[in-house]
Structure 1
Amino acid sequence: MRRIRLRQGLIRGLGLSKNQLSDIGTLASICNTHDNITMKLNWDFLNSRPQNELQDFLYYDENQLVGYLALYIFNNKEAEVSAMVHPKYRNQGIFSILLEQAIQEVKQRKIYELLFFTDTNSNSGISALEHLQSTYEFSEYLMKWNNNLPQDMRDQLKVRVMKEDDVQDVINIDSQCFNLSKLDAEKMSQVQLNSPTNLRFIAELNGTIVGKINVQLNNSPAYIFGFAVLPEYQGKGYGLEILQKTIVHLDNLSRNDIVLEVAVKNLNALKLYEKVGFNKVTGYDYFRIKLAEKNS
């Protein structure tokens, strides 16, 4: 008779299995219900984790996932961090164990800053970050579409599915619009290309690529991200047209549960999203921790 291996204690994840992804989703649901929050998990990246990089730290108790910390490394200066602990297992040192492992990993990569994000309404998350003496950095809104299809759309742009030949243009857009190095933009583009659950659209004006937008479809709701228009084409209504045409495409796929995120201080983007029919649902606060460059 085949013995089932018991998962117990800390597991350092080189890539995530289907079972582990399912466990993460289950734990997030438990935390969301208990805390009345919406955990932010970048499923696009979790589903395409490389098998040779350590970015996930899981803590099990008799095969039940009770703690999880994820690293999202988009550049060589900082690592973004998301973490959660089962409500019944809090204040037992599990978060500290996960964080210690994560700090060891980022220091090996010569990264000395962590940027945590937590739901604005998560008292436990904010309390933990205050205990770590982190510094508040900024906030974002999570916004949800109200299901009212756009009216009177302009038709100046051709919005089409991204092709492999477009990769360099996408890297250029990400580099300019998100202040990324070419290397970091290449890494991010590769992750997106490797994800089977992503829709990637390119916007062309008379044959010239002027913008891009991505949609993550592996979970409900559909999540819009990586939305950008080249600086020289901003302020001309192209962003509105790209967003409207993307929403129409998703509605045609019967994916009308759509969300996105926007920085609280980005008033221009906030007005754009509200114009298209997105309403604020909740917020996320970001906190920074600077690590000592030498191990104690």
Structure 2
Amino acid sequence: MIIKKYRSLNETTMSEVLDLEKDCNDYDELRGSVFLDTSLNFNQMIQSIFLLYEGRMLISMLSMFIPSHQEVEISAMTRPEYRKRGYFKALLFQAVEELCLHNISDILFVCERPSDSGKQVLNRLQAVFEHSEYYMSLNRGGKADIENQRLVLSKSTLRDLETIIQLSCKIFDDNDEDARSLIENCLNSESRDQYLAILGDKPMGMVSVNHLSDEEASIFGLGILPEYRSFGYGKELLGLILKDLWRLGKQQITLEVDSENDRAFALYQRMGFRIEVAYDYYRKQVSDFC
């Protein structure tokens, strides 16, 4: 057994992971994908992907999405014929060591809802269910009509950094340090765009886009300042970004939403988004593994 640690994956290792993912999804009849993009992790020096090999074959993997200094999201998978041999436990031990080095306190384990094997592992770990998120998609031709446009969608640059940080802290209740890290990484990314929603001359909303391919994009970080909510600005902002993405030739738009965020979930459904995959999140303290 050999465990290799990575900050990001090259083309060869990415291909190995995708092959492992297909093997596991076919066996478990799942549809989701493991998040492998480490570019939004708050510290780019953290080892966040762990691959376990027997000989030359990739048997098991664990990935960590680390958007803040306090919390990490962990996803993992093991080839069906190699399960219950302690491979996941070995990977988790390595991940916990890395988290302890950087004083990260909380783990959120991500489990696709139909995954019985995943739930069994989390039960053994005594991880506590916290919430669910829906991965939703909209194909080209979805609603993007805007009546009585009031907002202007403005693509951001690093010059807008402080403005976006202030918005993020007010909209999402982020702390300054985590908001700064996430937004700087987004603005410096070649595949992501950050936008401001302007009302008159006042920035009052924000949204980010990850261009996954020429035909697919993912929307994230969409929000409106609390004092402007319930006036239809969220729907207008979503319509504006969809219109812009259709103009760029995108054929499919995806996003994730907390199942308990009734307002956002209802908006996305009204705009034509449909649930593709449901993920359940389970919390555990890093200190429980020390």
TM-score under structure 1 length normalisation: 0.88
Q: Alignment length, in residue pairs? A: 288
Q: CA deviation at 1:229?
A: 1.3
Residue of structure 1 equivalent to 2:209 = 215
Alignment match of 1:193 (pick from 187, 190, 203): 187
Residue of structure 2 equivalent to 1:264 = 259
Which residue identity lines up with residue 205 of structure 1 in the other structure? Answer: L
- The 2-side partners of 1:294 and 1:264 are apart by 29
In the alignment, structure 1 residue 156 sits paired with structure 2 residue 146: no
Q: Contact between 1:175 and 1:182, CA under 8 Å: does it hold in 2?
A: yes
- The 1-side partners of 2:179 and 2:205 are apart by 15
Q: Contact between 2:136 and 2:273, CA under 8 Å: does it hold in 1?
A: yes
Please give the per-residue CA displacement for 1:158-209, whole angstroms capped at 9, x wherever unaligned: 1132222111122122222222210111111122123211132221111221
In the alignment, structure 1 residue 144 sits paired with structure 2 residue 140: no
Residue of structure 2 equivalent to 1:176 = 170
Which residue identity lines up with residue 178 of structure 1 in the other structure? Answer: F
C-alpha change, 1:36 and 1:223, in structure 2 (3 Å) is farther
Q: Secondary structure at the match of 1:260?
A: strand
C-alpha change, 1:294 and 1:225, in structure 2 (3 Å) is closer
Please give the per-residue CA displacement for 1:97-119, whole angstroms capped at 9, x wherever unaligned: 11011111112222232111111
Q: Secondary structure at the match of 1:246?
A: helix
Alignment match of 2:222 (pick from 219, 223, 227): 227
CA-atom RMSD in angstroms: 2.3
In the alignment, structure 1 residue 292 sits paired with structure 2 residue 287: yes
- The 1-side partners of 2:143 and 2:7 are apart by 43
Q: Secondary structure at the match of 2:108?
A: strand
- The 2-side partners of 1:221 and 1:152 are apart by 20
Alignment match of 2:49 (pick from 46, 56, 71): 56
Mean alpha-carbon deviation: is it higher for 93-102 or for 57-66?
57-66
Alignment match of 1:274 (pick from 269, 274, 287): 269
Mean alpha-carbon deviation: is it higher for 217-226 or for 38-47?
38-47
- The 1-side partners of 2:209 and 2:279 are apart by 20
In the alignment, structure 1 residue 241 sits paired with structure 2 residue 236: yes
Which residue identity lines up with residue 56 of structure 2 in the other structure? Answer: N
Q: CA deviation at 1:151?
A: 5.6
Alignment match of 1:127 (pick from 120, 143, 146): 120
C-alpha change, 1:161 and 1:119, in structure 2 (3 Å) is same
Alignment match of 1:22 (pick from 12, 15, 18): 15
Q: CA deviation at 1:246?
A: 1.4
Q: Residues 27-38 of structure 1: matches in 2 within 5 Å?
A: 27-38=20-31
Q: Contact between 1:147 and 1:277, CA under 8 Å: does it hold in 2?
A: no
Q: CA deviation at 1:217?
A: 1.7
- The 1-side partners of 2:49 and 2:108 are apart by 15
Residue of structure 1 equivalent to 2:2 = 9
C-alpha change, 1:288 and 1:51, in structure 2 (3 Å) is closer
Which blocks of at least 5 consecutive residues in structure 1 are unaligned?
1-7
C-alpha change, 1:294 and 1:32, in structure 2 (3 Å) is closer
